[in-house]
Chain A
């Protein structure tokens, strides 16, 4: 070390990168994430970016943010107030400053704070001269001009040079938190293999930022975050986003089932990555169709399922609404189908790039008729792999559509994933017809699963017709009979209920019984677990359990509820699981709902729990 900066050890740090949507903040955050993961820290990330591709530069509408929490212990959530904020311009400062802790580090690109820029962000004075910033440790760094001088001599124009400033900022944070440069330098070489000047420029900017931290004497302290000492199980690890994990889960499922994979989809934020991830994987026997609309996307998937493929469709809430009628056809025809809904803020177009959990009741009850479907929800980005795999397995075993509820936070967030051994993945079971041709009935069921046989076109002598009209309970012929319809309504419900046989025992964090149990589902897992384990350590009588199966509900849930005085249902909606659970168990429950397009706040949830414990 050539500086006098002191090294301080910390357990956990939350960093937020914020700039214009063209400033490369997502990429910067991802590089920091990968580097920290490889250095042995546990990590969790959350993206916060606008729906507009490039809103006018410098406006608050165009601010893109990436936040990550990493530490030398297990990290389950990334959404709370940051220790360090890197703001590339006044708009980024304005949008994000409220999420910086008091005495937190605020690194600003002071070149970005021209009068024109702060006016554009809606300030009537230079915010850097504002007393309001006094509660933070402010570090103005001329990031743009330093980047330019670092790149002097390279055959790049001013604009190209300016675009490297995010790597200067990254280099500076690498110094601040003692991160290794090597991986990112290599990554730049391979990313820009065909543009060696750009690779060189970004590498210089990265090193320049690092050297600036080392030499400028601006910072008196820098930080060391030791690797997570908790012994990781032997194996291979990577970090992965939820959307990638969903796509890979489907590929793995198709391969284990020895079936071709078909995905019908229509671009929609924040689900589009799934289509984009699967499309290049043609050599994994994957066929994708970018359909003319959401309806055709699920329709083509049902056609593929009818033909014997593992079929899926991916969308977000508005697309889910459009798919309802076709989904009901798959429920009536009893065909396997995976429907992925990466939820976003609603209603209507809502908040396309923001997270929400408000489609639960839509997928449970938002279709005409008695229309039961299996509904699963991954709890973390890496859990998306397993849940996509399970959704596929259950869909095929039970001959039913399975809806997977992810959300924007899982989709673009990342965490560490222990890559499974392919040979350890669960086996697939099929509902095949094995009897004599004369005994074939399209709706005769497996007594255990109630699945009807999957007999696909091309099978000799078993020709039959499917359709949306009510079916005779055995022959599958059109039937309007009163008793038959009643029986079929109950049978379809019972078949979904049998999926309880697939649900592992509920895991409880914190106390196994006591005063209060927090119940959640989906992406709130990390926040709830973090808060509950902390409170339990502090001596409070609290536990938490997280639902990955929302229909059917786990059979052991009711007994778990009996072990606590108060049940608190925490969700990013206005009380949907709360409604579902109270209906299912006729038990009064409390609820904690924040619908801000952002993960639940650990601080607010903790306050709520403590308040309830007092009452």
Chain B
């Protein structure tokens, strides 16, 4: 893994497999595939040292289209398999690809425990707020009131917010990007790769067939500045068509202000600090505007490193195991 990107000199197409891509035309997953492969080529990692592990759903077909090692597993359980792989193979760059149903519904338990343990994996949640592969049922992230095949009179459940849940469970890297923003994807995916521990990235993407335009406010270049705020470490949180809006602390929460009108400076607004857990919680819960970028990042040893370090401590103390001695035990006799 010590090669540099320039030595490897990969093209993006080196990471595209020969399998026929079978998502719907204009599905938001195509640009994400581009974003991922566009990132991989420049990470300085040899192709054979990537492993993509997915669950079940439209987005979980991802590994078939990337020419690295891959495993399309079962519904919701990719993190479990990836954890075992990462524990035994720290030399690999392990990426989990999951959807909103896969990650948050059937796989909710593994999702929480992966965040808690912090294995060194990159975990991409492709969120389109719908079940696509089963042809249009509500997902745990579908908004209230949505009409779908299983909610003909409107969706009653409240949606689940993945990022605050991840942070509450102990996530050390939490980010959000849009399928429409190739540049941001590359930046965030690269940072996710560089982060030691679990990097959880929610990618909003459009399901053109069953939930078209649910993210229209963020996808269209015109709307995006009004409805999203880019969180950049060390920078004040400003947004709006002309950056006229800012985010300010109010009590234990946040509020949007037209800061210049109120006679405030940018410095009076919230300065983004990804190590501040409370701020990350508030930012990930914002819905107008929606926060994008790396919202939380703290340095902690990864689960795999801790396990391997403990293993090594025992080896240092006891020396390599002697099988014959182990099998005999203490209470043996010889004939």
A and B pair up: yes
Contact present for A238 and B328 (CB under 8 Å): yes
B327 close to A248 (CB less than 8 A): yes
Scan residues 177-196 of chain B and give those whose CB is less than 8 A from a CB of chain A: none
Residues of B within 8 A of A292 (CB): 80, 109-110, 112-113
- Please name the residue on chain A nearest to B52 by beta carbon: A465
In the complex, A523→B223 CA distance in Å?
A: 70
Tell me which residues across on chain B come within 8 A of A295, comparing CB atoms.
77, 80, 110
B232 beta carbon closer than 8 Å to chain A: no
Contact B71 A306 (CB under 8 A): yes
The answer, among B19, B319, B321, B329, for a CB contact under 8 Å with A281, is: B321
Those of B275-307 within 8 Å (CB) of chain A: 307
Say whether A239 contacts B87, CB under 8 Å.
no
**List of B residues within 8 angstroms of A38 by Cβ:** 331, 333
Query: Of A303, A304, A311, A467, which is in contact with the most chain B CB atoms at under 10 Å from its CB?
Result: A303
Q: Could you tell me if B311 and A303 are in contact, using CB atoms closer than 8 angstroms?
A: no
Q: Which residues of A contact B87 (CB under 8 A)?
A: 262, 287, 289, 300, 303-304
Q: In the assembly, what is the distance between CA of A549 and CA of B164, in Å?
A: 51
Cα A432 to Cα B46 in complex, Å, equals 22
Does the CB pair A300–B80 fall under 8 Å? Answer: yes
Smallest beta-carbon distance A421→chain B, Å: 8
B-contact bits for A183-212, CB 8 A (1 contact / 0 none) = 100010000000000000000000000000
Provide the residues of chain A in CB contact with B84, threshold 8 Å. 262, 264, 289, 299-304, 307, 311
A289 to B85, CA, bound (A): 12
A466, B73: Cα distance in complex, Å: 8
- Given A262-B84, A283-B319, A329–B74 Cβ distance below 8 Å? yes
- Which residues from A are CB-within-8-Å of B333? 37-38, 236-238
Shortest CB-to-CB span from B196 to chain A, Å, is 19
Q: Are A329 and B73 in contact (CB under 8 A)?
A: yes
Contacts of A301 in B (CB 8 A): 84
Cα–Cα, bound, A237→B334 (Å): 6
Would B71 and A466 count as touching, CB distance under 8 A?
yes
Knowing A260-B88, A283-B318, A303-B83 are in contact, say whether A236-B332 is a contact too (CB < 8 A).
yes
Chain A nearest CB from B120 CB (Å) reads 13
Residues of A within 8 A of B53 (CB): 303
Q: Closest CB-CB distance, A302 to chain B, in whole Å? A: 5
Taking the closest CB of chain A, its distance from the CB of B321, in whole angstroms, is 4
At the interface, yes or no: A55 with Cβ under 8 Å from chain B?
A: no
Asked if A158 is at the interface of the complex by the 8 Å CB criterion, the answer is no
Given contacts A299-B81, A311-B84, A329-B74, contact A238 B64 (CB under 8 A): no
Q: Which of B61-101 contact A (CB under 8 A)?
A: 63-64, 67-75, 77, 79-89, 91-92
Known: A281-B321, A283-B320, A326-B74. A300 touches B81 (CB 8 A): yes
Q: Contact partner of B85 among A303, A419, A467, CB < 8 A?
A: A303
Q: Which of B71, B85, B109, B110 contacts A465 (CB 8 A)?
A: B71
Distance in Å: Cβ of A83 to nearest Cβ of chain B? 25
- Interface 1/0s, chain A 317-349, versus B by CB < 8 A? 000000001100100010000000000000000
- Measured CB to CB, the closest approach of chain A to B72, in angstroms, equals 3
Would A469 and B72 be within 8 Å (CB), given that A282-B315, A304-B85, A458-B49 are in contact? Answer: yes
**How far is B82's CA from A239's CA once the two chains are assembled, in angstroms?**
39
Q: CB-nearest residue of chain A relative to B335? A: A232
- A residues 214-243 in Cβ contact with B at 8 Å: 232-240
Verify B88–A291 contact, CB threshold 8 A: no
For chains A and B in complex, what number of residue pairs have CB atoms within 8 angstroms? 201
Check if B71 sits within 8 Å of A333, measured CB to CB.
yes
Asked whether A296 and B110 contact (CB < 8 A) given A282-B314, A303-B82, A333-B71, the answer is: yes
A201 CA / B89 CA spacing, docked (Å): 50
Confirm or deny: B150 has a beta carbon within 8 angstroms of a beta carbon on chain A.
no
A465 & B63 in contact (Cβ 8 Å cutoff): yes
Assess whether A299 is in contact with B73, with CB atoms less than 8 Å apart: yes
CB-defined contacts of A291 to chain B, threshold 8 Å? 80, 113
Per-residue CB contact flags for chain A residues 252-278 toward chain B (1 = under 8 Å, else 0) read: 100100001010100000000000000
Residue of B nearest to A329 (CB): B74
Contact B323 A422 (CB under 8 A): yes
Contact of B69 among A233, A235, A464 (CB under 8 A): A464
Contacts of B319 in A (CB 8 A): 283
Give the residue of A260, A289, A463 whose beta carbon is less than 8 angstroms from that of B48: A463
Cα distance A422–B327 in the bound complex, in angstroms: 9
Q: Determine the distance from Cα of A478 to Cα of B89 in the docked complex, in whole angstroms.
A: 26
- Tell me which of B89, B109, B315, B332 contacts A457 (CB under 8 A): B89
Q: Which of B56, B70, B77 contacts A296 (CB 8 A)?
A: B77
CA distance A462 to B260 in the complex (A): 59
User: Is the CB–CB distance between A284 and B89 below 8 Å?
Assistant: no
Neighbouring A residues of B329 by C-beta, 8 Å? 238, 240
A581 at the interface (CB under 8 A from B): no
Q: Which residues of B contact A422 (CB under 8 A)?
A: 323-324, 327
Tell me, yes or no, whether B174 is within 8 Å of chain A by CB. no
For A423, give the chain B residue with the smallest CB separation: B324
Say whether A34 contacts B331, CB under 8 Å: yes
A302 and B89: CB pair below 8 A? no
How far does the Cβ of A246 sit from chain B's closest Cβ, in whole Å? 13
Q: Is B235 an interface residue (CB 8 A)?
A: no
B47 interface residue per 8 A CB criterion? yes
Q: How far is the CB of A307 from chain B (nearest CB, A)?
A: 4
Are B72 and A465 neighbours in the complex by a CB distance under 8 Å?
yes
Q: Besides the contacts A282-B310, A292-B110, A307-B88, what 14 more A-B pairs have beta carbons closer than 8 Å?
A: A237-B334, A251-B323, A252-B327, A255-B323, A282-B315, A289-B87, A296-B77, A299-B77, A303-B87, A326-B77, A457-B48, A458-B89, A464-B69, A465-B72
**A-contacting residues of B (Cβ < 8 Å)?**
17, 19, 46-51, 53, 56, 63-64, 67-75, 77, 79-89, 91-92, 109-110, 112-113, 307, 310-311, 314-315, 318-321, 323-324, 326-329, 331-335
| Nearest 9 CB-CB pairings of A with B | A299-B80, A303-B84, A467-B72, A300-B84, A284-B321, A303-B85, A296-B80, A457-B69, A303-B81
Interface positions of A (Cβ within 8 A of B):
34, 37-38, 183, 187, 232-240, 248, 251-252, 255, 260, 262, 264, 280-285, 287, 289, 291-293, 295-297, 299-304, 306-309, 311, 325-326, 329, 333, 419-422, 457-469, 477-478
14 intermolecular pairs with C-beta atoms under 8 Å apart? A38-B333, A235-B334, A236-B334, A237-B332, A282-B310, A289-B83, A296-B77, A300-B87, A457-B48, A457-B51, A457-B89, A458-B69, A465-B63, A467-B71
